[in-house]
Amino acid sequence: MTSTPVARGADELVERARTVHSARGPLPERVRGTRTVVVTCMDCRIMVEDVFALRLGEAYVIRNAGATVTDDVLRSLTVAQRLLGTSEILLIAHTDCGMSRVDDGALVERLREECGSAPAWSPAGFVDVREHVRAGLRRLASSPHLVPGSTACGFVYDVETGALEEVAP
Ligand code: ZN
């Protein structure tokens, strides 16, 4: 595996954003007709715009630790479908996901010890990434608030090769 130089931190990113902003032209005020929402992991090796060669306005992107279909992911998807008119979901988990090494019970216990209380949320660690995708697809299919007839497809993204493998529900 090769390593890539990384940003030093938030200050450098903000400075870079100012440079980019001053160099580019105005952005469109509003985009219409976006059909697709990508739900994926926050892992910094997944450059969603590059994976799908996305152009401005082609997809909404929702990210969290593990590409887990949580209540808040369902909230955002419901807004994206009911208020913004999207109809397709791509659920993209990935190989070597950190959440596949998280022991929920151990993390909750650690938080209880270090912070004095357990979180209201589940860490949602998982063992098998394909089964994790299937569980996410089942949760999407059982949501009463998503638009009937909207579609959801699940994939595993290989962070070493860049390949996408579809996961049957
Ligand atoms: Zn991940």
**84: region left, alpha or beta (phi > 0 left; psi from -120 to 50 alpha):** alpha
Q: Give the pLDDT of residue 134.
A: 98
Give me 55's structure tokens. 């152009």
What spacing in Å lies between the alpha carbon of 44 and ligand 1's midpoint?
A: 9
For the segment 89-128, what is each residue's pLDDT rounded down to a tens digit? 999 999 999 999 999 999 999 999 999 999 999 999 999 9
What spacing in Å lies between the alpha carbon of 157 and ligand 1's midpoint?
A: 10
β-strands 59-64, 88-94: how paired?
unpaired
Q: Give the pLDDT of residue 48.
A: 97
For the segment 50-61, what is each residue's pLDDT rounded down to a tens digit? 999 999 899 999
Shortest CA distance to 61 belongs to which of 47, 121, 138?
47
**How many angstroms separate the CA atoms of 130 and 165, rounded?**
10
Q: Please enumerate, as own/partner, the contacts of 101-105 that have beta carbons within 8 Å and a separation of 24 or more.
A: 101/125
**How many angstroms separate the CA atoms of 153 and 56, rounded?**
22
Beta carbons within 10 angstroms of residue 45's beta carbon: 13
Q: 7 or 26, which is more confident? A: 26
Q: Inform me whether the pLDDT recorded for 152 exceeds 80.
A: yes
What spacing in Å lies between the alpha carbon of 69 and ligand 1's midpoint?
A: 13
pTM above 0.85, yes or no: yes
Half-sphere exposure of 44 (CA within 13 A, CB side): 5
What spacing in Å lies between the alpha carbon of 18 and ligand 1's midpoint?
A: 29
What spacing in Å lies between the alpha carbon of 105 and ligand 1's midpoint?
A: 19
Q: Inform me whether the pLDDT recorded for 26 exceeds 80.
A: no
What spacing in Å lies between the alpha carbon of 81 and ligand 1's midpoint?
A: 25
Asked which of 29-33, 44-48, 72-76 is least confident by mean pLDDT, the reply is 29-33
Neighbours of ion ligand 1 (CB under 5 A): 41, 43, 97
Q: Inform me whether the pLDDT recorded for 3 exceeds 80.
A: no
Confidence of residue 4 (pLDDT cuts 50, 70, 90): low
